[in-house]
């Protein structure tokens, strides 16, 4: 196993690399729930730099660090930082990476995390770079699928904004390592980019493409829904045309398998009806919790603590 320094994309991860993090996360779940205390990160500091809004990613990293006995520093709002005076991202990274043992970065520009990793003196963890990648979300998505369903012989529908959805882009490559059957469900304007479909097919993944959820709802194990992201559309008129084109309702899922689970990276706007929340299918709030043990596992890996976790009883 290669030492893991930066976490920029999971595209080239092997199944063994994914499995290793998922196993670590499982060991860490009692600490994530506060049932067991840990000081494994005592003396360590995590820096959080978020240039785009976030609730789950930012706060689950903060919780992960605190539950492990470490501390975090947060740049706070971009307007309150020296970015507002014109400081470049690379200068900010050069400075902040001297203040902390690892840096979590979310940025609207695709490739920002990779660029940051080239000028940082500590590991960079990509918390989302524009429409590029969101690798820590992918890891928690895999963990959710493993805990709430199964990763082997998985039949999954990826739905919503497949064009701009970075969680979808990262997850596709990860699912290919488990030879999942992938059904892509979106309006034609929001189809998964051809280069990713081609990559999946080159990896011998069975990919189907449809605009209608009813084509696949009876067969799937997981329905992974995503928000149509207003902020990624260059043309507001294009967003208005597609914004209400997909919605998961109780009626739609009536013919689904009883064990079919619905996931969503959140936030949702109106793409899953609120009355789906109290069905056995809804797994999206559990998925948000699983961000804590998975991000604990990522921090342990990045900061070289994984052997101490494995030795835990
Ligand atoms: N899933 C996710 O990235 O959520 P946040 O934008 O709230 O971090």
Domains of the chain: 15-133+291-310 (3.40.50.1370), 135-288 (3.40.50.1370)
Q: Which of 55, 63, 125, 225 to mutate to test the pocket of ligand 1 (most atoms within 8 A of CB)?
A: 55
> 312 C-alpha to center of ligand 1: Å?
30
CA distance 194 to 201: 10
Question: How much is the pLDDT for 150?
Answer: 97
Binding residues are 56-57, 85, 106, 134, 137, 166, 227, 266-267
Residue nearest to atom 6 of ligand 1 (CA): 54
| Helices and strands, counts by H and E, the chain | 10, 9
pLDDT at 82: 93
Distance separating alpha carbons of residues 39 and 292, to the nearest angstrom: 16
- Name, in order, each residue with C-beta under 8 angstroms of 182's C-beta and a sequence gap of 6 or more: 156, 158, 172, 175, 200, 205, 206, 207, 208
| Residue identifier of the C-alpha nearest atom 5 of ligand 1 | 54
Q: Is the dihedral of CA 111, 117, 119, 123 positive or negative?
A: positive
Q: Report the atom number in ligand 1 closest to the C-alpha of 128.
A: 3
User: What is the Å distance from ligand 1's center to 54 Cα?
Assistant: 5
Q: Are the C-beta atoms of 224 and 171 separated by less than 8 Å?
A: yes
Question: Which residues define the annotated binding site for carbamoyl phosphate?
Answer: 56-57, 106, 134, 137, 266-267
Ordered per-residue pLDDT tens for the chain, 313 residues: 444 489 999 988 999 999 999 999 999 999 999 999 999 999 999 999 999 999 999 999 999 999 999 999 999 899 989 999 999 999 999 999 999 999 999 999 999 999 999 999 999 999 999 888 899 999 999 999 999 999 999 999 999 999 988 889 899 999 999 999 999 999 998 999 999 999 999 999 999 999 999 999 999 999 999 988 777 777 877 777 777 778 999 999 999 999 999 999 999 988 999 999 999 999 999 999 999 999 999 999 999 998 888 888 7
Mutate to test the pocket of ligand 1, among 48, 49, 54, 229 (most ligand atoms within 8 A of CB): 54
pLDDT for 4 equals 44
Q: Are 199 and 226 in contact (CB under 8 A)?
A: no
Do 195 and 217 form a contact (C-beta atoms < 8 A)?
no
- Which is the closest atom of ligand 1 to the Cα of 106? 8
Look up residue 144 and give its two tokens.
Answer: 């959710």
User: What is the model's pLDDT at position 262?
Assistant: 98
Ligand 1: which of 57, 143, 161 to mutate, most ligand atoms within 8 Å of CB? 57
For the annotated binding site for L-aspartate, the residues are 85, 166, 227
Residue 238 has a pLDDT of 78
For residue 146, report the distance from its CA to the centre of ligand 1, in Å. 20
Atom 3 of ligand 1, nearest CA residue? 57
The number of the ligand 1 atom at minimal distance from the alpha carbon of 53 is 6
């Amino acid at each position: 196993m290669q030492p893991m320094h930066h976490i920029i994309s999971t595209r080239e991860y092997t199944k063994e690399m994914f499995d290793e993090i998922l196993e670590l996360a499982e060991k860490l779940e009692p600490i994530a729930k506060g049932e067991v205390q840990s000081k494994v990160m005592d003396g360590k500091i995590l820096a959080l730099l978020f240039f785009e809004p976030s609730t789950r990613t930012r706060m689950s990293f903060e919780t992960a660090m605190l539950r492990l006995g470490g501390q975090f520093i947060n740049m706070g709002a971009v307007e309150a930082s020296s970015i507002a005076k014109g400081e470049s991202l690379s200068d900010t990274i050069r400075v902040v990476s001297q203040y902390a043992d690892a840096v979590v970065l979310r940025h609207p520009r695709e490739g920002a995390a990779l660029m940051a990793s080239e000028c940082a003196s500590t590991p960079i963890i990509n918390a989302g770079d524009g429409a590029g990648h969101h690798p820590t979300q992918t890891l928690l998505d895999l963990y959710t699928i493993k805990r709430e369903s199964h990763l082997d012989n998985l039949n999954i529908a990826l739905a919503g904004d497949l064009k701009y959805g970075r969680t979808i882009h990262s997850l596709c490559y990860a699912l290919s390592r488990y030879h999942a059957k992938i059904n892509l469900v979106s309006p034609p304007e929001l189809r998964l980019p051809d280069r990713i479909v081609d990559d999946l097919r080159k990896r011998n993944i069975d990919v189907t493409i449809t605009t209608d959820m009813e084509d696949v709802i009876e067969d799937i194990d997981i329905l992974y829904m995503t928000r149509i992201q207003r902020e990624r559309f260059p043309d507001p008129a294009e967003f208005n045309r597609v914004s209400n084109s997909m919605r998961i309702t109780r009626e739609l899922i009536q013919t689904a398998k009883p064990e079919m689970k619905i996931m969503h990276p959140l936030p949702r706007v109106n793409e899953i009806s609120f009355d789906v929340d109290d069905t056995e299918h809804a797994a999206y709030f559990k998925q948000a919790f699983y961000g804590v043990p998975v991000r604990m596992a990522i921090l342990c890996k990045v900061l070289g603590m994984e052997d101490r976790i494995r030795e835990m009883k």
